[in-house]
Amino acid sequence: MDHHHGFNPNEVIDRFRQRAEAVRHRALPPVEGPERRRFIEQAELDFFDFSLLADATAHLEEGILTFTIDLRPRPDERLASDENA
């Protein structure tokens, strides 16, 4: 992998992993009703987005950064869904 001027794309992926964990453990603010629901929905989206990028592999070649994310079910997930069918 090409580390363009000291840039390490794996460090970016690590930060997304840390952000996903931070969102997972984020405390709910003292809000109620629709605002609480919106906060929870946004936290779920943030966790999904950060987790998605945390599972990526990064390739930096000739100044072009590409993240590859495998969206296929993992073998253990396929087994669990087959057992529940």
pLDDT of res. 67? 95
Range of the structural domain that residue 79 is part of: 4-84
What predicted TM-score, i.e. pTM, was given to this entire model?
Answer: 0.69
Run means of pLDDT, 10 residues per run, the chain, 85 residues: 71 94 90 92 94 93 92 77 65
Nearest of 77, 33, 74 to residue 55 by alpha carbon: 74
- When divided into structural domains, the chain yields a total of 1
Residues 6+ apart with CB under 8 A from 28: 36, 39, 40
Least Cα distance to 55 among 42, 68, 74 occurs for: 68
- In this prediction, residue 7 carries a pLDDT of 85
